[in-house]
A and B are shown apart, each in its own frame.
Chain A
Amino acid sequence: MSDATPHPQPVPRPEPQYATMDQQAEAASFGMWVFLATEVLFFGGMLLAYAWLRASHPDGVAEAGRHTKVVIGSVNTLVLLTSSLTMAWAVHAAEHGRRTALTRLLAVTALLGLLFLGLKGYEYHGEWAEHLVPGLNFQENGPHARTIELFYFLYFLLTGIHGIHVTIGIVLIAVMAVRARRGAFSAGYFTPVEVTGLYWHFVDIVWIFLYPLIYLAGRSGP
């Protein structure tokens, strides 16, 4: 393949605390899993707050849910799921030492991440224009105004923190793309790509929980 490099790949050596590269790779991916466990509980606190709000004010939450921009939310779900596909594909390419494919797939993943953020920003812009931003320009009347405000408070917090995670993911993936292009990875060594992939899939999974809770909750029933 055209991926073959003219000069021999540098063989990475494990850090002193590891006996082999395999041991180091196992530790790295296990470390990411443990970190993701932390992340689950981090989002879990916010989801508990959401559950409390919905349980104590079901009507208000339903009304608030109907204010959300379900089209943008759905498109974004599609974008993020596709980016997970390209990420998984990138890891597969790395496993087989296909350097060009790896670089391109990582770049596509990062671009899809950017597209997600762009759409999210557009959505925020719309919400700003509709005076739905609590604490800054919230204006809403009616019996459920307080609940809607709290819903949007949690909405901005959840999607905002998720957005920060997406941003970090994009940066990581971009770094991986640059490193892949320079030939830092081979079929024998691609742990950073794999670990970045784990993180990216997690960010995606968080969104899979957020999407129905935010966009779909208020739309069932009459």
Chain B
Amino acid sequence: MTTATVTGKPEEPVVATKNYLTEEGTTLRSWLLTRDHKRIAILYTLSLTVFFFVGGAAATLIRLNLVTPAGIFTPDIYNRLFTLHGIVMVWFFLIPSIPNTMGNFLIPLMIGAKDLAFPRLNLLSWYLYMGAGFLALFAILIGGVDTGWTFYTPFSSLYSNGYVVLALAAVFAVGFSSILTGLNFIVTTHRLRAPGMTWYRLPVFVWSNYATSVIMVLATPVLAITLLLVAVERLLRVGIFDPALGGDPLLFQHLFWFYSHPAVYIMILPGFGVISEIVPCFARKPLFGYKFVVWSSIAISVIGFFVWAHHMFVAGISLYAGLVFSLLSYVIAVPSAIKVFNWTATLHKGWISFDAPMLYALGFIGLFTIGGLTGLFVANLAFDVHVTDTYFVVAHFHYIMVGGMVSAYFGGLHYWWPKVTGRLYPEWWARIAALLIFFGFNLTFFPQFILGYLGMERRYYAYPPEFQAWNIFSSAGASVLAVGYVLPFFYLGWSLFRGKRAGSNPWAATGLEWKTPSPPPTHNFDRTPTVTRPPYQYRPEPEPQDV
């Protein structure tokens, strides 16, 4: 205790009197009509949280059903549950997760801009997202959709009962939300960088979101047109995806995965960005191989467009096509591996502290590596034939999406929480939650690798009794995971009111976002900053906090 004991009050950094949370007013109207990228980021965060818990509830019910071999729900309900889980988690949580929350909040701050290039478009994108979200929930909960998130034809266009067209419309609309966000980020990164903020001085977080945006802009329209074709085919009974009508279901799969495989990189690239911010800060070292990390993001976004048919190895594509796509799928593992090596090299001889963001980041590196390496298994033609549509694949992509992306999301949420709210979160609780999530996650999904290898097919409501033990492990893990995900909801909520004041730079981090008060003022900087140094200029000892 220093001077604080003299006055008898805890020492609290001075809070900027004018910040984005209060400056425009605190009415609902001022929030719903705001053009401030930071406020829109908050709107996104709140709505994403709702969708995360909706999708999570469906996952909980799925795991509950799979505790017993016979299942507890009817097959029909089970189909709707995994469809709800897939659609909500993919399009209403994972795709917008980091870009629309942290990207929205941080990109202008990190490049020294006052806002995104098109603030109105940004707000429109949130309204599209919300409209689409309600439409999707309505379609799935009221009408019932049982196609899975993949909408494979001819099932989706011909046989499936339920409100498939509405669900398609919802995904169509949320796609445009994603396109507008991507467009906004690309233009902002090109045109609104502060003086001296050259491309190689951009934080990797900005680069990652830039690479993500390119995919959003170029891949999402293909999904939109594909889903439109399915909807027309379903409504008019004419179409090019249904073999009975002269069409070809493989064409659907090609078009669908042309979006949906790059979409995997939409989901994971922003996570790479978050980890690239956290690791140098908590290792007190510059990011190792900055340019390699940057260009591997760009490489992923480009090569990501040429691997889609590895989802179709058993669908009837030619052997030569299979060979080419298998090879390309190996190739795309290289830039991902470069990143993992660079983060590890950044840790090497670093001054490492294990605060909650770092725990999530380290968890990310481990889990993403497992997810990535098992990705090589399924990129292998022969092995893929064995595990296609089994729990091996389910485990593989959950290691990337949940172990990777959701860990990065929580890591970033904790790392920038003081900047966003002006308050510190309770560190002890945060570490407990991070550890619970890590262990719960592994307990949930590692057994699924084994189940898949043993031959348990995905998407069935029942399974042979010999698989029960592993399924019980998995469901037990899911309950640990659920506790881990609910915990932050409480302690972060508590910290909003009772957390210690954060000051502008509680982590002694570099980066322009830490140079402005927490919470930042409406236009981010009182004076447009000038950048003179590359990012991540950390020294291997704690720097004094700036006041």
Contact = CB atoms under 8 A, between A and B. Distances in A.
Interface of A: 15-19, 23, 26-27, 30-31, 34-35, 37-39, 41-46, 48-49, 52-53, 56-57, 134-136, 138, 146-147, 149-150, 153-154, 157
A156 to B, nearest CB: 9
Contact of A134 (B179, B226, B238, B254): B238
B246 A38 contact: no
Nearest to B225: A45
B395 to A, nearest CB: 31
Nearest to B255: A45
Nearest to B226: A45
B217 A31 contact: no
Interface in B107-166: 108, 113-119
26 contacts: A16-B114, A16-B115, A17-B108, A26-B191, A27-B117, A30-B191, A34-B183, A38-B221, A41-B219, A41-B221, A43-B225, A45-B224, A45-B225, A48-B254, A49-B255, A57-B246, A135-B235, A135-B236, A136-B236, A146-B246, A147-B246, A150-B238, A150-B247, A153-B239, A154-B240, A157-B229
Interface string B219-233: 111101110110010
Nearest to A147: B246
B263 to A, nearest CB: 13
Given A37-B218, A150-B240, A17 B187 contact: no
Contacts of A30: 187, 190-191
A154 B258 CA distance: 20
B238 A42 contact: no
B222 A34 contact: no
B192 interface: yes
Interface in B14-73: none
Nearest to A52: B251
A interface SS class: helix
Contact of A153 (B108, B116, B186, B238): B238
B interface SS class: helix
A163 B108 CA distance: 37
A134 B179 CA distance: 31
Given A147-B246, A150-B246, A53 B191 contact: no
B245 interface: yes
B217 A34 contact: yes
A40 to B, nearest CB: 8
A32 to B, nearest CB: 9
Lowest 3 CB-CB distances: which A-B pairs, in order? A135-B236, A45-B225, A42-B221
A23 B183 CA distance: 17
B523 interface: yes
Given A35-B183, A45-B229, 6 more contacts: A27-B190, A39-B221, A48-B254, A49-B255, A149-B246, A154-B240
A42 B225 contact: yes
Q: Which of A17, A41, A53, A57 has the most CB of B within 10 A?
A: A17
Nearest to B180: A35
B454 to A, nearest CB: 38
B258 to A, nearest CB: 8
Contacts of A154: 240
Nearest to A18: B192
